[in-house]
Structure 1
């Protein structure tokens, strides 16, 4: 049974990064802050996602 765990893990990270970017774009943060957060998530997919989860802007609640 050949299981490609790395590929599956990469796909999960990609989905979570896209979700984070959508939330960043929908947040009330300024445009400069949005660009910086998006660059962080794109350049450091896993670490950027973790940092955004704890400290980044959130999407609108309504």
Structure 2
């Protein structure tokens, strides 16, 4: 069960990082958001989901 949770969390974190890199945020903002998601995988993802930069595609 923990393995499945880990795989799901990894997939969600990768999805978040891809969206962060594709966002219109500044370079430093992107670096800080990616570090937050990498250092704190679950909490970082939750915070990014509600408060993080959105991809440029989502803004259209």
Q: What is the TM-score normalised by the length of structure 1?
A: 0.91
Q: Normalized per residue, which structure has more helix? A: 2
Structure 1 stretches of 4+ with a deviation exceeding 2 A read none
The separation in 2 between residues aligned to 1:60 and 1:9, in whole angstroms, is 29
The separation in 2 between residues aligned to 1:34 and 1:23, in whole angstroms, is 10
Give the gaps of 5 or more residues in structure 2.
none
The alignment's C-alpha RMSD in Å is: 0.8
Give the gaps of 5 or more residues in structure 1.
none
- Find the structure with the greater CA-based Rg: 1
Count of residue pairs the alignment pairs up: 58
Q: What is the TM-score normalised by the length of structure 2?
A: 0.93
The separation in 1 between residues aligned to 2:55 and 2:14, in whole angstroms, is 13
